[in-house]
């Protein structure tokens, strides 16, 4: 792509065929002022976009350094999404998890520093780990720090090394520190995004249909609903998450691109603090909404089954008990706020799943 003054801004999206990548790609290609160079090992979620004249796609792994460098050199901005981000894998394949969440994206960050490209690095809400009050006596200070997780104030609290669930959060935390350090020492322009449980169409997979293993909770519950099986609550489903609709999340990424000056050098929590639910509450809501969206299941009784974390995920699993984002930075610097409430987030997501997998039994 030879650049002329009229050329669109070229965005390199690493991991463009994943859940977030596929939604981002759709939004970028809908605007004439963007061209995209993408790399991904998979193609399924973006096969309808590969013929777009403003999209150059490489069906490859970002570990292919010469290919990745070629793409970075030809871009104005690099959005780094590639990662293993499924908790079922963290304590089964921790080496792969650490490599995919630190080593490979660190190589990308070094290339961005070398070629002076703006890096938008996806991290995770999981860097915060557990709340302080989950393991110390609840002091007033701890309780206050736990109200909301702030990019600039909240400490990170991970479990011991043998609890390999934290291999992912620890790798992401080191990646954030390395990106920050490259900014500090080598002038890398960067923005770090911490997503808080984005959900929407095309998130994860249904086991046995278009993937294998244990996906994240939304897809686990959708599988149970579609196959009329019990919904499994790990350790009773008492832990909490905020669920953020993918379109709101993509709005935030677009806001980063259009607020470059304010976004560079900053870390942003991207999540919807109003959409908090325990996992047990999520299950109850999903059953009710599924019955409305899919009347054929209206009279079916869905059971809730408590399972231990060790039985569901294997030894080495620990959990984040609660993570509510402080989004003041995103509101102030990006002029972004989430708009979709939990009911609509679930309705839109579940409707898309039913359309995609409705015939699954
Ligand atoms: C995962 C990743 O580790 C995060 O980095 C990522 O940011 C996040 O997903 C995300 O989607 O943004 P987590 O929220 O723990 O974190 O992932 P889920 O698999 O969706 O689990 C959420 C909760 O549901 C956990 O408490 C889990 O134990 C529980 N769960 C999961 C169930 O109770 N039943 C299930 O069938 C599946």
Q: How far apart are CA 59 and CA 102, in angstroms?
A: 21
Provide the pLDDT for residue 355. 96
Minimum-distance ligand 1 atom for the alpha carbon of 309: 28
Minimum-distance ligand 1 atom for the alpha carbon of 239: 26
Tokens (6 digits) for 207: 């086991």
pLDDT band at 180 (very low <50, low <70, confident <90, very high): very high
Q: What pLDDT digit, counting tens, does each position of 203-241 carry?
A: 999 999 999 999 999 999 999 999 999 999 999 999 999
Q: Best mutation site among 92, 203, 217 for ligand 1, i.e. most ligand atoms within 8 A of its Cβ?
A: 217
Question: Is 5's pLDDT higher than 50?
Answer: no
Q: How far apart are CA 29 and CA 300, in angstroms?
A: 42
Q: How far apart are CA 67 and CA 49, in angstroms?
A: 21
Provide the pLDDT for residue 145. 65
How does strand 276-278 pair with strand 240-242? Answer: antiparallel
Q: What is the mean pLDDT of the chain?
A: 94
Q: What pLDDT digit, counting tens, does each position of 122-171 carry?
A: 999 999 999 877 776 666 666 666 679 999 999 999 999 999 999 999 99
Give the DSSP letter string of 277-343.
EEHHHHHHHHHHHHHHH-GGGTT----EEEE-HHHHH-TT--------B--HHHHHHH-------HH
353 is catalytic: no
Provide the pLDDT for residue 137. 63
pLDDT band at 7 (very low <50, low <70, confident <90, very high): low
Question: Is 8's pLDDT higher than 90?
Answer: no
Question: Is 32's pLDDT higher than 80?
Answer: yes
The one catalytic residue in 90, 106, 128, 168 is: 168
Tokens (6 digits) for 139: 């002091």
Provide the pLDDT for residue 149. 94
Percent of the chain with pLDDT over 70: 94
The answer to whether the CB of 269 is under 6 A from ligand 1 is no
Provide the pLDDT for residue 131. 86
Distance 17 CA to ligand 1 centre (A): 21
The answer to whether the CB of 173 is under 6 A from ligand 1 is no
Provide the pLDDT for residue 134. 77
The answer to whether the CB of 234 is under 6 A from ligand 1 is yes
Provide the pLDDT for residue 147. 75
């Amino acid at each position: 792509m030879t650049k002329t003054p009229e050329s669109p801004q070229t965005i390199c999206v690493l991991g463009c065929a994943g859940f977030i990548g596929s939604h981002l790609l759709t939004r970028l290609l809908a605007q004439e002022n963007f061209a995209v160079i993408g790399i991904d090992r998979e193609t399924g979620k973006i096969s309808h976009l590969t013929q777009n004249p403003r999209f150059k796609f490489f069906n490859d792994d970002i570990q292919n350094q010469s290919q990745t460098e070629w793409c970075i050199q030809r871009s104005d901005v690099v959005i780094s999404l590639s990662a293993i981000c499924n908790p079922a894998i963290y304590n089964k394949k921790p080496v792969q998890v650490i490599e995919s969440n630190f080593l490979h994206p660190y190589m990308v960050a070094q290339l961005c520093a070398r070629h002076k490209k703006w890096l938008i690095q996806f991290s995770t809400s999981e860097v915060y780990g557990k709340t302080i009050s989950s393991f110390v006596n609840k002091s007033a200070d701890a309780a206050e720090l736990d109200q909301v997780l702030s990019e600039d104030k909240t400490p990170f609290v991970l479990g011991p090394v043998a609890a390999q669930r934290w291999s992912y959060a620890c790798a992401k935390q080191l990646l954030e520190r390395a990106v920050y350090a490259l900014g500090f020492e080598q002038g890398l322009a960067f923005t770090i995004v911490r997503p808080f449980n984005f959900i929407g169409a095309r998130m994860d997979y249904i086991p046995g249909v278009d993937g294998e293993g244990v996906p994240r909770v939304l897809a686990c519950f959708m599988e149970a609903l579609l196959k009329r099986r019990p919904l499994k609550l790990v350790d009773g489903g008492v832990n909490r998450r905020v669920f953020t609709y993918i379109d709101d999340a993509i709005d935030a990424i677009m806001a980063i691109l259009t607020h470059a000056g304010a976004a560079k050098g900053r870390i942003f929590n991207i999540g919807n603090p109003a959409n908090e639910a325990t996992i047990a509450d999520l299950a109850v809501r999903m059953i009710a909404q599924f019955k409305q969206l899919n009347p054929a299941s209206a009279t079916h009784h869905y059971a809730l089954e408590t399972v231990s974390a060790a039985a569901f995920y294997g030894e080495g699993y620990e959990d984040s008990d609660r993570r509510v984002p402080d989004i003041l930075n995103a509101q102030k610097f990006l002029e972004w706020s989430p708009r979709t409430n939990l009911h609509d987030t679930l309705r839109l997501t579940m409707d898309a799943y039913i359309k995609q997998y409705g015939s699954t039994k």
